[in-house]
Structure 1
Amino acid sequence: MDPRELNKAMAAHGVWKVRLREAIANGTSEFDPFTVSQDHECEFGKWLYRIPDADRPPAFWEKVKELHEQFHREAGRILHLALSGKGEEALARVSDLRGDFVQTSIELTNTLQAWKEAASAG
């Protein structure tokens, strides 16, 4: 396992937060909500699903997969709201510290960090 792949994942998902805020502010995006909601469409998702079963650490892979799916599902919902003229609702979802998007994002980042540390140690 290359810890650099996990660094890329954390950085890419940080970029999504910026993209969503831009879509909320502008009401436009180069991305469509359906594609954004698919966890296997981003570079990290493609990498994650290419890991052979034998190389998927059970302590991390399944949890990262589940959190990554949730992150993209919620990002797709937020983008849909932003593009549908519901910017205030989209902004509330992306900003609510107790909301699904923020909580999933935090948990995903923490789990990726733990996976990276385990991969670096081993």
Structure 2
Amino acid sequence: MSVDMIKEINDAIGAHGAWKLKLRTAIMMGRSDTEPATVRCDDRCALGRWLYGASLDAQTRAGKPYQVVRRLHAEFHQSAATVLEDALAGRKDQAGQRLEGEFKERSEKLVRALTKWKGELLSSASLGIGG
């Protein structure tokens, strides 16, 4: 299970990194093929489907890394949706400030939490703990 979890975490780090470019494009163009209401939902992207899906056991869900990542992931989506709302409403300056402020901060926190979780999984795997 740890190998699958590490792959999911690596994929999530890459996918969430791409959001900054998507949002910057929406700010410049004033449009997006994704609605803010959809972006706000933290269970529709690949990481969200994994976090809320059936592949994670109760022990993993009860653990602090999971709890922290799930909370930060939800905050990331809230922030991305707010940036997108501003971008689609033509509030470019406000959207840009949010992108470089709150969104960037939440994105970095999420990536740090995912990286830490991955490190803990790798340590457990190298020690032969878990499965």
TM above 0.5, yes or no, is yes
1:9 aligns with 2:15: no
Q: Aligned partners of 2:61, 2:121: CA distance in 1, in Å?
A: 11
Q: CA deviation at 1:107?
A: 1.0
Residues 1:79 and 2:84 are matched in the alignment: yes
Instruction: Give the aligned residue type for 2:58.
Output: D
Query: Is the Cα contact below 8 Å between 2:43 and 2:49 reproduced in 1?
Result: yes
1:57 to 1:109, Cα distance in 2 relative to 1, 3 A: farther
Where structure 2 has 5 or more consecutive residues not aligned to the other structure, the ranges are 125-131
1:108 counterpart residue number: 110
- Residues 40-79 of structure 1: pairs in structure 2 closer than 5 A: 40-50=43-53, 51-56=56-61, 58-79=63-84
Give the C-alpha shift of residue 55 in structure 1. Answer: 2.8
**Which residue number in structure 1 is paired with residue 120 of structure 2?**
118
TM-score, structure 1 as length reference: 0.92
The verdict on how the C-alpha distance between 1:59 and 1:69 changes in structure 2, with shifts beyond 3 A counting, is same
State the identity %: 35
TM-score, normalised by the number of residues in structure 2: 0.86
Cα separation, 2, equivalents of 1:53 and 1:22: 39
Residue correspondences, number? 119
Residues 108 and 11 of structure 1, relative CA distance in 2, 3 Å threshold: same
Work out which of the two has the higher radius of gyration on C-alpha atoms and give 1 or 2.
2
3-state secondary structure, aligned to 2:32: coil
Measure the CA separation in 2 of the matches of 1:106 and 1:79.
18
Counterpart residue identity of residue 110, structure 1: R
> Structure 2 counterpart of 1:34, which letter?
A
Q: What's the CA shift for 1:72? A: 0.1
CA-based RMSD of the aligned residues comes to 1.1
- 2:129: which partner in 1? none
Q: Contact between 2:60 and 2:66, CA under 8 Å: does it hold in 1?
A: no
Give the number of the structure whose residues are more often helix, by fraction: 2
Cα offset, 1:88, TM superposition: 1.2
